[in-house]
Chains A and B, each alone.
Chain A
Amino acid sequence: MSDEISNELREHLAKLIDENEVILFMKGTPESPACGFSARTVAVLNALGRKYAAVDILPDPRIRQELSELSQWPTIPQLFVDGELIGGCDIVTEMYESGELASVMGVEQPAAEPEAVEPAPQAGSVQASGLQLENNL
């Protein structure tokens, strides 16, 4: 029975990879990455400005297990373009720097360096100004 579940999950992952031209499997979300390697990969993708789907693998350890079985790639993140595994953080970064990633994804190579994505929420500054208002009252 557990075999059935894992097959179902693997098929679902294969479908996601098939249906999304650019899809990133990562730890955490693009807004709040939970690992430095995922954060760096997100920063590169954001710099390229191409829309991508993102899947957080953390909620269920089986996602990672099945994904790695499927891709024969042991680590996270994993970027797929047009159904093919491009690589993890190292390859994505290297290909970004050489301009290959932009050409694989069919976008222009941006002139600017990718902006670092920090896990810290940006709401902090809003809260701070809110507190200041409260102080004035």
Chain B
Amino acid sequence: MADTVEIKTRIEAALPGATAEVEDTVGDSNHFRAVVTAPQFEGLSRIQQHKLINEIFEGELGGSIHALSIKTQVPDKESAPEAART
């Protein structure tokens, strides 16, 4: 079992600078949808972006987390806060 806060926290901890919005799509703590915006995605193919997320939950997807639907985004450079630019 997992919850949205745990999933969000783990994604953001694994990908510094990332923001994740996670929802429990059915309300059963088992099917989740995550929209992840991360600077690490820049220049990667979708499959590579998703793999970065899958790695965080290795062994749990399809098991204790039945489904994690993922949408990946690269942060919009224009609107990125000053602090995030290094």
What is the interface of chain A, defined by CB distance below 8 A to chain B? 37, 72-76, 85-91, 94-95
Determine if B54 and A73 form an interchain contact, defined as CB atoms under 8 angstroms apart. Answer: yes
Which residues does chain B contribute within 8 Å of A90, judged by CB atoms?
Answer: 50, 69-71
Within 8 A of A (CB), among B5-39: none
Contact-size category for B: 10 to 19
Which residues does chain A contribute within 8 Å of B70, judged by CB atoms?
Answer: 90
CB within 8 A of A74: which of B46, B47, B54, B71?
B54
CA distance A75 to B58 in the complex (A): 11
Determine if A94 and B47 form an interchain contact, defined as CB atoms under 8 angstroms apart. Answer: no
Main secondary structure of the interface of A (DSSP, over half): mixed
Which residues does chain B contribute within 8 Å of A72, judged by CB atoms?
Answer: 51
Determine if B71 and A87 form an interchain contact, defined as CB atoms under 8 angstroms apart. Answer: no
Which residues does chain A contribute within 8 Å of B67, judged by CB atoms?
Answer: 37, 75
Which residues does chain A contribute within 8 Å of B71, judged by CB atoms?
Answer: 90, 94
CA distance A80 to B81 in the complex (A): 38
Within 8 A of A (CB), among B50-66: 50-51, 54, 58, 61-62
Which residues does chain B contribute within 8 Å of A85, judged by CB atoms?
Answer: 47
CB within 8 A of B46: which of A37, A75, A89, A94?
A94
Known: A90-B69, A91-B46, A94-B71. A75 touches B62 (CB 8 A): yes
Which residues does chain B contribute within 8 Å of A74, judged by CB atoms?
Answer: 54, 58, 61-62
Determine if B61 and A95 form an interchain contact, defined as CB atoms under 8 angstroms apart. Answer: no
B22 to chain A, nearest CB (A): 14
Determine if B58 and A91 form an interchain contact, defined as CB atoms under 8 angstroms apart. Answer: no
B47 to chain A, nearest CB (A): 5
A105 to chain B, nearest CB (A): 15
A7 to chain B, nearest CB (A): 22
Determine if A91 and B62 form an interchain contact, defined as CB atoms under 8 angstroms apart. Answer: no
CA distance A91 to B49 in the complex (A): 10
Which residues does chain A contribute within 8 Å of B62, judged by CB atoms?
Answer: 74-76
